[in-house]
Structure 1
Amino acid sequence: MTASSIPGRFRRLNKTQKLSVAGISAVAAAALSLSLVPGNAEAETEPQALSASPVVFGSAAGAPQAKTIQASLIEQHSSAEQMVKAIDAAKAKKAAAVKAKVDAVAKADAKKAKAKAAAKWKAKKAAAERRSHAASRSEARTHVYGNNLDGWIKESLAIMKAKGIPGTYDGLHRNIIRESSGNPNAINDWDINAINGVPSIGLLQIIKPTFDAYHVGGTPHTQYDPVANITASANYAADKYGSIDNVNSAY
């Protein structure tokens, strides 16, 4: 058997292994050729008579030697096959390790991305909740007053407090009832102001020049608006009498 007769899968052996196999094959071939030479191969000077008995080629030691070489070759082939299998197994193990590492990195990246997305969503939700709470607090601070005398007085008191204008609920209510009976559209068309063309108008019966001079910013600029009328009148009373609470008659 020569190196070229070794199956294809053994051709991946390195140079040293190939030389070893080739050498063993050469020795085997030589041994086989020697076994074909008669054991009594010594030169005979004289021809011998032909014998009717069968001729046996090879010495007694030739056959065992050939078998030994053949067994050695089989062992070499088996070792080479095991080596190839070991190399393939090592490659497979290395590939599996690389794949496991890649999978681990991908898994870690996916976990980080998921955690980042969750944190972003949580922050967005928290911001929305803060805005909602802020809106709720703002709405709670914005008091809604009734569209009636009680609501007009309370709203006026809130504005007066913000503007530093003195006055109490009782002082406002008492003077409003005396002046207009709580009617925001009340008009005095008989007193001197009416005769002069500037009638008293609204809840606290204030004339136009006085209303314009003491109008409180942030309220409608009309005497018929209840809150604008009350705050302007209270502002005038504070300037003239110290507070609307001190007014007990026409002012």
Structure 2
Amino acid sequence: MFSSRTPGLSRLNKTQKASMAGVAAAGVVAVTFSLVPGTAVAAESQAPVQSPVTSTVSTSATDNGKAPAVSAIIAKQFNSPDTAAKVQSVVQKTASEKTKAEDKAVAKAKADAKKRAEEAANRSTVRKPVYKNNLDGWIKESLAIMKKHKIPGSYEGLHRNIIRESSGNPKAINLWDINARNGIPSKGLLQVIPPTFKAYHVKGTPFDIYDPVANIVAAANYAADRYGSMDNVNSAY
């Protein structure tokens, strides 16, 4: 039968074994010293280099969004609390300025909206016209009230009868005709007797027979009821 052992190597004496062990040990040490530096350099070259300014800084990380984490992150990057404090101050100042700008914009928008609403309200408000305190003004104001209450009559019809009855004197009073003899004299611009004024007084005007507008409107109301309009009156009525 043939042996599987290599000739001359089938048996090793003690001296040969010791020599081989020494060579192996020396080789391991050599390999170790040759690999470690290279590995260290490779690992170091592959390690990520962190930038001094980190993108992970956030003003909303902790502490209700006031960025207290900024100083901790920057201090860790630079190993400098002073630098962290400066960066944190800049971040907080920027956030504060942004908040103020937003608040200012909101306040301006509200003010503009309020102003537009007030302007719209003013445009839609019907302003009460101002009438002159004279015969022309009294007639014009009376016509406006008559229109509201659907009492017929024109400027010409009112003016013509006023001039004939009182010459435009709102305090005029007749003390000689039949009405006066009966104790109810005619009074005012259109010479209305008190019972007629009371019966045809128009709500919203003064209950004063000598008030020029109240007198005109009451007389026009009476004339409309009896004659169709003051325009149809051309003499004592």
Aligned-partner residue type, residue 206 of structure 1: V
Please give the per-residue CA displacement for 1:78-118, whole angstroms capped at 9, x wherever unaligned.
Answer: xxxxxxxxxx9943479857864663354234323333234
- Structure 1 segment 1-251 matched on structure 2, within 5 A: 90-92=77-79, 96=83, 100=87, 103-104=90-91, 106-124=93-111, 126-128=113-115, 130-131=117-118, 134-135=121-122, 138=125, 141-251=127-237
TM-score of the aligned structures, taking structure 2 as reference length:
0.60
Aligned residues, how many?
163
How far residue 243 of structure 1 moved from its aligned partner, in angstroms, is 1.1
Give, in whole Å, the separation in 2 of the partners of 1:224 and 1:202.
Answer: 5
Give, in whole Å, the separation in 2 of the partners of 1:136 and 1:225.
Answer: 32
Give, in whole Å, the separation in 2 of the partners of 1:161 and 1:92.
Answer: 90
Give, in whole Å, the separation in 1 of the partners of 2:159 and 2:210.
Answer: 17
Give, in whole Å, the separation in 2 of the partners of 1:89 and 1:204.
Answer: 100
Give, in whole Å, the separation in 2 of the partners of 1:183 and 1:158.
Answer: 21
Secondary structure of the structure 2 residue equivalent to 1:201: coil
Q: 1:89 to 1:201 in 2, by over 3 A?
A: closer
- Report which of the two structures shows the higher radius of gyration computed on alpha carbons: 1
Aligned-partner residue type, residue 203 of structure 2: G
Please give the per-residue CA displacement for 1:174-220, whole angstroms capped at 9, x wherever unaligned.
Answer: 11011111110110111111111110000000011110111111111
Give, in whole Å, the separation in 1 of the partners of 2:106 and 2:119.
Answer: 20
Give, in whole Å, the separation in 2 of the partners of 1:188 and 1:156.
Answer: 23
Query: What does residue 40 of structure 2 align with?
Result: none
Please give the per-residue CA displacement for 1:5-24, whole angstroms capped at 9, x wherever unaligned.
Answer: xxxxxxxxxxxxxxxxxxxx
Aligned-partner residue type, residue 132 of structure 2: G
Secondary structure of the structure 2 residue equivalent to 1:200: coil
Identical aligned residues as a percent: 58
Query: What does residue 55 of structure 1 align with?
Result: none
Structure 1 unaligned spans of 5+: 1-87
Give, in whole Å, the separation in 1 of the partners of 2:77 and 2:174.
Answer: 112
Q: 1:156 to 1:109 in 2, by over 3 A?
A: same
Please give the per-residue CA displacement for 1:21-66, whole angstroms capped at 9, x wherever unaligned.
Answer: xxxxxxxxxxxxxxxxxxxxxxxxxxxxxxxxxxxxxxxxxxxxxx
RMSD over aligned CA atoms reads 2.9
Give, in whole Å, the separation in 2 of the partners of 1:115 and 1:230.
Answer: 62
Q: 1:90 to 1:109 in 2, by over 3 A?
A: closer
Quick check: which one's helix share is greater? 1
Please give the per-residue CA displacement for 1:109-140, whole angstroms capped at 9, x wherever unaligned.
Answer: 432333323432452355256536745775x7
Please give the per-residue CA displacement for 1:150-172, whole angstroms capped at 9, x wherever unaligned.
Answer: 01000111111111111110010
